[in-house]
């Protein structure tokens, strides 16, 4: 029956072939009948049990409390392997078969295999890192140079002045120019112009051919990007010219190439930058879901995916803003996003959450036609309308700065469930386009308004306790017939609780992971608690994304099916929910919520 041992589940998937063979030679099989005691408090531990079939319950004898239940592929008693004796009762709830691995063999594997040992760390962060898949880069290595991953080359005459060349770089958002002089082509970069003007004190009218490098290094269109990378490394350069035969086709930058190898995202970034109308922008936006799935399938960590998607979403909205609002208004208002977009925690597209802050001398009536157009453009880009109408086409979310500040002060003063909801919406503002100082002043006023408002912050934090943590009395995962709502049970309590602590401490960061890091710096969290809370949130996001992708990319779905998860993911989820439970207890004590 040893051939039924599951080496696909962590931590046993980290073992080498020799270690696996040694384990099979050392394990035995044990049978326990229903109700039979397997381990008892004070009993010396000489083996680790891995359940092949059945259910085992862990009980606290003195308190008559059920602590946990274990089933197929679960392990017990891990603590006893290190302590030497058992603390609790372990009883078979039904006929149970277990693999029994001698403790000495287990400790030998811990010593020989660091990855195996890492799984048995007592914090969620260590377990999650051990279970994380490694990224496969073969797809990127085989990518070829084409129009999608090169920049157009702008060729200028060698007699062009330094001043004119600098204007061209700025106007066309370029990093470099190609200089034609005496029958040759040379490369001219922004750094070359800077050094020439500042260090060499060349006059603005000086011709650029004196600064260009005419030892031009080139690659052929259709060659592998990997070869271009190797060429740049060997030549210690940051860009190469791309030729199609003998004709100049464009320029390939090192920064673009590295982005391509890590994410394939720069192609989308270039398409957004080059879009001349909303239709072209919509074509670019339509590939976001495919990018997310590609990154996820290649094992890229979710915080990186979120950061990348936040950047791309910001670029899309900024471009839509430029299409919708006349240039003359850009310095008189600010577009900000709120909610998960404001926290940079959106992966798949969800509904719009945005608002406009206007100069005090600008009337909302003047901008509403353009705001309507912007909301319509976002729908074309795949962002559905907000059911709560938190959108710029709603006049309630388009106000001069003074009016916004009055609203913020009013919500703080009223201290009602409705005002708490409004404060939760606006507590995560992120600037997108227009005049950024308006958003900074908005956020500063909010943080000032809540300073010292202990009752408000306590009741605001209490919202994190609204939904029960989905754990059974026995400490196992609890779910309804429809599934486990991970937003209510895991994500919201962490986001809301951390948001309350951030408001209390005057933290300006809006991303939840960044807030946790900042709160750790302020000694609100111990480092271990911060790591576990961050990893729990990342796990919730990760599991939700996997379920959403399995349902065709539905970014609105929040339900998990724990029974369908692999054993190691169920174990991580259960551990993460216990982290949330402890965090709620911390909030109750910190904000004295029980005394309200």
Q: Return mean pLDDT, the chain.
A: 86
Which of 54-63, 127-136, 155-164 has the highest average model confidence (pLDDT)?
A: 155-164
Would you state the structure tokens that stand for residue 227, as one six-digit string?
């070869």
CATH architecture of structural domain 460-595: Up-down Bundle (1.20)
| Extents of the domains making up the chain | 2-120, 144-263, 266-450, 460-595
With cut-offs at 50, 70 and 90, classify the pLDDT of residue 135. very low
Concatenated DSSP letters of 456-503: HHHHHHHGGGSS--SB-TTSSB--BTTBEEHIIIIIHHHHHHHHHHHH
Average pLDDT of span 124-147: 56
Question: Are the C-beta atoms of 313 and 341 separated by less than 8 Å?
Answer: yes
pLDDT recorded at residue 20: 92
Average pLDDT of span 353-370: 96
The top-level CATH class assigned to 2-120 is: mainly beta
d(CA 259, CA 276): 23
Average pLDDT of span 410-418: 92
Residue 391 clears pLDDT 80, i.e. is over it: yes
**φ, ψ of residue 399 in degrees (nearest 5):** -145, 150
With cut-offs at 50, 70 and 90, classify the pLDDT of residue 303. confident
- Angle, helices 401-414 vs 436-450, to 10°: value is 20
pLDDT recorded at residue 183: 83
Is 78 strand, coil or helix? helix
The answer regarding whether domain 144-263 maps to CATH 3.40.50.150 reads: no
Residue 50's beta-bridge partner residues? 75, 99
Give every CB contact of residue 63 below 8 A, 6+ residues apart in sequence.
none
d(CA 499, CA 525): 14
Fold match flag (266-450 vs 460-595): no
Q: What is the DSSP letter of 152?
A: P
Pairing of strands 155-157, 56-60: unpaired
Question: Are the C-beta atoms of 44 and 85 separated by less than 8 Å?
Answer: yes
Task: Give residue-wise pLDDT tens across range 394-412.
Answer: 999 999 999 999 999 999 9
Concatenated DSSP letters of 386-402: PTT--STTSGGGEEEHH
Task: Give residue-wise pLDDT tens across range 211-249.
Answer: 998 888 899 998 877 678 767 756 767 789 999 988 888
In order of 33, 56, 71, 101, 523, the CA distances from 95 in angstroms are 5, 9, 11, 19, 49
Question: Are the C-beta atoms of 353 and 359 separated by less than 8 Å?
Answer: no
Average pLDDT of span 446-454: 95
With cut-offs at 50, 70 and 90, classify the pLDDT of residue 136. very low
The top-level CATH class assigned to 266-450 is: alpha beta
d(CA 453, CA 460): 10
With cut-offs at 50, 70 and 90, classify the pLDDT of residue 256. low
pLDDT recorded at residue 495: 97
Q: Percent of the chain scored above 90 by pLDDT? A: 50
Residue 41 clears pLDDT 80, i.e. is over it: yes
pLDDT recorded at residue 319: 93
Task: Give residue-wise pLDDT tens across range 282-296.
Answer: 988 888 887 788 777
d(CA 239, CA 381): 33
Of 276, 354, 259, nearest in space to 312 by CA: 259
Question: Are the C-beta atoms of 329 and 371 separated by less than 8 Å?
Answer: no
Question: Are the C-beta atoms of 88 and 474 separated by less than 8 Å?
Answer: no
Pairing of strands 239-244, 218-220: parallel
- Helices and strands in the chain: count of H runs, count of E runs: 25, 20
Question: Are the C-beta atoms of 431 and 439 separated by less than 8 Å?
Answer: yes
The pTM assigned to this predicted structure is 0.64
């Amino acid at each position: 029956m040893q051939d039924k041992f599951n080496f696909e589940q962590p931590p046993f998937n980290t073992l080498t072939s020799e270690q696996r063979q040694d384990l099979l030679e050392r394990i035995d099989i044990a049978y326990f009948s229903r109700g039979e005691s397997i381990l008892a408090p004070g009993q010396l531990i000489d083996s680790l049990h891995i359940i092949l079939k059945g259910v085992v319950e862990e009980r606290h004898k003195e308190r008559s409390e059920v602590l946990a239940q274990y089933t197929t592929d679960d392990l017990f008693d891990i603590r006893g392997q290190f302590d030497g004796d058992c603390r609790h009762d372990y009883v078979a709830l039904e006929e149970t078969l277990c693999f029994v691995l001698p403790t000495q063999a287990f400790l030998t594997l811990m010593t020989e295999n660091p990855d195996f040992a890492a799984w048995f760390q007592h914090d969620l962060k260590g377990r999650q890192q051990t279970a994380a898949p490694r990224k496969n880069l073969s797809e990127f290595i085989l990518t070829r140079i084409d129009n999608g991953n090169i920049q157009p080359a702008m060729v200028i005459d060698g007699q062009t002045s330094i001043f004119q060349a600098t204007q061209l770089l700025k106007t066309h958002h370029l990093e470099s120019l190609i200089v034609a002089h005496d029958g040759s082509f040379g490369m001219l970069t922004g750094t070359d112009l800077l050094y020439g003007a500042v260090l060499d004190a060349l006059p603005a009218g000086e011709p650029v051919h004196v600064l260009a490098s005419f030892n031009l290094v080139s690659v052929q269109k259709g060659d592998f990007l990997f070869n271009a990378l190797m060429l740049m490394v060997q030549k210690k350069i940051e860009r190469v010219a791309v030729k199609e035969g003998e004709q100049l086709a464009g320029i390939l930058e090192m920064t673009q190439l590295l982005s391509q190898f890590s994410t394939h995202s720069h192609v989308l970034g270039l398409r957004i930058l080059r879009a001349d109308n909303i239709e072209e922008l919509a074509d670019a936006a339509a590939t976001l879901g495919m990018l997310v799935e590609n990154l996820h399938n290649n094992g890229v960590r979710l915080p990186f995916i979120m950061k990348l998607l936040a950047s791309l979403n910001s670029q899309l909205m900024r471009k839509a803003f430029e299409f919708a609002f006349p240039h003359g208004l850009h310095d008189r208002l600010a577009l900000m996003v709120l909610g998960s977009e404001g926290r940079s925690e959106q992966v798949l597209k969800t509904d719009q959450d945005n608002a406009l802050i206007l100069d005090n001398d600008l009337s909302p009536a003047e901008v509403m036609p353009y705001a309507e157009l912007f909301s319509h453009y976002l729908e074309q880009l795949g962002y559905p309308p907000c059911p709560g109408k938190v959108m710029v086409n709603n006049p309630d979310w388009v106000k001069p700065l003074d009016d916004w500040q009055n609203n913020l002060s009013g919500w703080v003063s009223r201290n009602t469930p409705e005002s708490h909801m409004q404060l939760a919406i606006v507590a995560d503002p992120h600037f997108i386009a227009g005049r950024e100082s308006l958003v900074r002043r908005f956020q500063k006023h909010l943080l000032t308004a809540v300073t010292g408002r202990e009752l408000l912050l306590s009741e605001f934090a209490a919202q994190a306790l609204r939904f029960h943590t989905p754990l059974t009395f026995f400490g196992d995962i609890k779910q309804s017939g429809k599934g486990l709502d991970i937003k209510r049970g895991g994500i919201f309590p962490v986001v809301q609780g951390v948001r309350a602590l951030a408001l209390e401490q005057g933290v300006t960061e809006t991303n939840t992971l960044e807030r946790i890091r900042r709160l750790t710096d302020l000694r609100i969290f111990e480092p271990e608690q911060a790591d576990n809370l961050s990893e729990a949130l990342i796990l919730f996001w990760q599991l939700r994304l996997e379920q959403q992708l399995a349902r065709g990319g539905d970014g609105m779905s929040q339900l998990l099916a724990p029974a369908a998860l692999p054993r190691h993911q169920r174990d991580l989820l259960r551990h993460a929910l216990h982290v949330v439970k402890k965090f709620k207890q911390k909030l109750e004590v910190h904000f004295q919520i029980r005394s309200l």
